[in-house]
Amino acid sequence: MELSLLLIFWYGILHAFGPDHLTAIADFSIGKEKSKTLLITVLFAIGHGLSLFVFAKVLEAFPLSQSILEWGDVISATVILGMGVYLLYMVFAGRIHLSKHMHEGKEHVHIWFGKSHQHEDKIVESSSFTMGLLMGAGGVRGMLITLGAVGSGHVDLSLVAAFTAGVMLIFVGFGFVILYINEHLLDSEKNVRRVFATAGAVSLVVGTNILLG
């Protein structure tokens, strides 16, 4: 059992390096404060693991054809493409803004979307969890193959916890990369728009590549 958990943990690490996952995390966490960025990555990982567990359980009870399973990739690609289109629209419509203020002797930067400064932290956090749920469908095939290689193919919570831990390790690590970008590059509205435009363009490329792959 320990070997199975280790292999699933390692699969979670490899799975997390998928460009669709890292792109999704970047789309949601660019411009966020440290605590929010880390929370977003953790919620994405939990949502991803939970979704994969549910899908895997459904497939245990109702085996589906390979062509139907491929729809998981279509869902992931569609989500990524949607985020790319949204970010590019917000950039070119001039709806991404930056403001700075001093708080307790330290400069704080706030980035928001829209015409007025609104706090949307709870919306972003719930959206990152939902994104993780949706994109979990794209990992079902790989996890079932891995489970078949390490044992009976039965999915239980310990295996999903090991997978989620591996995913979370990479996601949180990538979150620190985003934090570096947030703290060192997002110091002007011009740079903010450049970074979000880049994230949107990368999302389009990644999503299109998944659909055509």
In whole angstroms, give the CA distance from residue 76 to residue 78: 5
* C-alpha 110, offset from chain centre: 22
Strands (E), 1-103: 96-103
User: Which carries the bigger pLDDT value, residue 59 or residue 17?
Assistant: 17
User: Which carries the bigger pLDDT value, residue 153 or residue 131?
Assistant: 131
In whole angstroms, give the CA distance from residue 110 to residue 97: 8
Q: Tell how strand 106-113 and strand 96-103 pair up.
A: antiparallel
pLDDT digits (tens, 9 = 90+) for 19-45: 888 888 888 888 888 888 888 888 888
Other Cβ atoms closer than 10 A to 194: 14
DSSP state of 138: G
In whole angstroms, give the CA distance from residue 70 to residue 91: 32
pLDDT digits (tens, 9 = 90+) for 42-71: 888 888 888 777 777 776 677 655 555 567
Query: Alpha carbon of 148 to those of 143, 154, 156: distances in Å?
Result: 8, 8, 13
Which H or E element spans position 114? Answer: none
User: What is the total count of domains within the chain?
Assistant: 1
Containing domain of residue 29, as a range? 2-212
pLDDT digits (tens, 9 = 90+) for 129-139: 777 777 766 66
